[in-house]
Amino acid sequence: MAVIHKFLLEEQRWLWQGVERKIYPSGNRPSDPKGVSVQWLIGRDEGAPFFAVRYFELEPGGQTILDRHPHDHGVFVLRGRGRVRLGEMFYELGFGDVVYIPGNEVHQFFNAGEDLFAFLCVIPNKDHLRGLGLL
Measured between alpha carbons, how far is 135 from 120 in angstroms, rounded to an integer? 23
Q: Report all structural domains of the chain as residue ranges with CATH numbers, in order of start.
A: 7-131 (2.60.120.10)
Identify the active-site residue in 75, 101, 121, 123.
121
Contact (Cβ atoms closer than 8 angstroms) between residue 63 and residue 117: no
Listed in sequence order, the residues at least 6 apart from 112 whose beta carbon sits closer than 8 Å to its beta carbon are 81, 82, 83, 92, 93
pTM of the predicted protein model = 0.91
Measured between alpha carbons, how far is 21 from 3 in angstroms, rounded to an integer? 18
Question: Active site includes 121?
Answer: yes
**pLDDT tens for the chain, residues 1 to 135:** 899 999 998 888 899 999 999 998 888 888 899 999 999 999 988 988 889 999 999 999 999 999 998 889 999 999 999 999 999 999 999 999 999 999 999 999 999 999 999 999 999 987 655 655 655
Contact (Cβ atoms closer than 8 angstroms) between residue 61 and residue 45: no
